[in-house]
Amino acid sequence: MKKSYKIVFMGTPQFSVPGLQALHQNGHEIALVVTQPDRPKGRGRRITPSPIKNTALEFGYQVIQPPSVKTADFVDQIKSLKPDFQVVIAYGKILPEKVLVLPRIGTINIHASLLPKLRGAAPIQWALINGETETGVCSMLMDKGMDTGDVLLSAKEAIEPADTAGTLHDRLAVTGAQVLIDTLNAYAENTIQPIPQNHDLATYAPMLTKDDGLINWNKSAMDLDNFIRGVTPWPGAYTFWGNKRLRIFRSTPVSADISEPPGTVLAGFPDELRVATGGGLLSITEIQGASGKRLATKEYLRGHPMPPGTILG
C-alpha cells in the first residue's frame, strides 16, 4: 500500500486543480487548503472564489484565504497541523522562510518549466514567445529564492506548432499533477535525490500585463506567430486599425521578400489578411473586432474590408 502523507496544499488558479485532485485520489490527507481571497472577475466584476477553493470545498476540505502569509497567526495555524509536506502550485504569493520550514519533510513546489530555465510567474507563455520546442514541469524543494530550490523530479513536454498558452497550460497542469504524485511516491520509497540547479543557466519568465499583448510588426513573422500563441488566451495579442482595436488569435508565418513597411496590409486573395513584418509576412487566420466576436478572417473581412496599403499598429 502506498504511503499517505499529511499535506497543507496552497494554490489558486485552474493550473493548481489537477494537483489537488490527484492528492485526493491517491489518498493523501489534506489537512488544510490555502488559497487567495475571492476576487472580482469578468465584466460584471462579480466576487468569485478561486478554482482551488471550489475544488477543495467539493472534497470537503477546510479552506482558508489569508490576506497575508507573514502573520504569526498563519504560521501558528500551519505549525499546529504538523504537516509532512506543504505542496505549492501557483499559489500566487511569495512564502517567507518561516513558512517554508514548517513541514516535517519539506515544502514542494510544482513549476511549469524545466528549471533553471524560465523561472518566474509566466513560464508557459514565455516558452511559446521564445520559440521553444520543448518545455516541461519540475517538482522542487522551495527555498527563499524565486524558483531557485533543488529540483526533485521533472517531466518533458513537447510544444506543438499549433499550441497556444491555453492548450499548453492544460497539458502541463495534468503533467504537473503526475509529477507531484511521483515525487511523493519517491519520498515514500526513499529514492528521491534533490539536484541543485545550475544558476548560471537560469532564464526568466516575468509576469505579463494587459499591455504586453500589443503586436510589434517590426519583429519577424515567425517571432510574431510565437508571440500570438504565447499570449493567447491572456493577455491576448492585439493591434490597431486606426482607432479600432483588433484582437489576433491565430496566424501563419510566410517566408516572402517584401518591400512594404512592417504593419502594411498586403494584396492577396479576397478572404486573406496578409501583413508585412520585419521579416516575411504574417497571414492572420482568426481575428476579433472591438465589439464583435472571434471570427475566421474571411468572415471578418466580409463586413470589414481592409484594402491593401492599410497600416496596422
| Nearest residue to 120 via CA among 154, 95, 86, 148 | 148
User: Hey, where are the domains in the chain?
Assistant: 6-201, 210-303
Whether 210-303 and 6-201 are alike in CATH topology: the answer is: no
| pTM across the whole model | 0.95
At 292 the pLDDT is 86
At 193 the pLDDT is 95
What is the torsional sign of CA 253, 259, 261, 263?
negative
Output the CA–CA distances (angstroms, integers) from residue 234 to 176, 207, 222, 273, 282, in the order listed. Answer: 21, 11, 20, 23, 20
Topology (CATH level 3) of domain 6-201 = Rossmann fold (3.40.50)
Output the CA–CA distances (angstroms, integers) from residue 8 to 23, 54, 79, 135, 167, in the order listed. Answer: 11, 16, 10, 28, 28
Residues with pLDDT less than 70, the chain: 1
Q: What are phi and psi of 271, to 5 degrees?
A: -100, 15
At 215 the pLDDT is 98
At 42 the pLDDT is 80
Cα 62 from chain centroid (whole Å): 26
At 308 the pLDDT is 96
Query: How far, in Å, CA of 237 to CA of 26, rounded?
Result: 40
What is the torsional sign of CA 293, 214, 46, 56?
positive
Query: How far, in Å, CA of 110 to CA of 61, rounded?
Result: 21
Query: How far, in Å, CA of 137 to CA of 169, rounded?
Result: 11
At 113 the pLDDT is 98
The superfamily (CATH) of domain 210-303 is Formyl transferase, C-terminal domain (3.10.25.10)
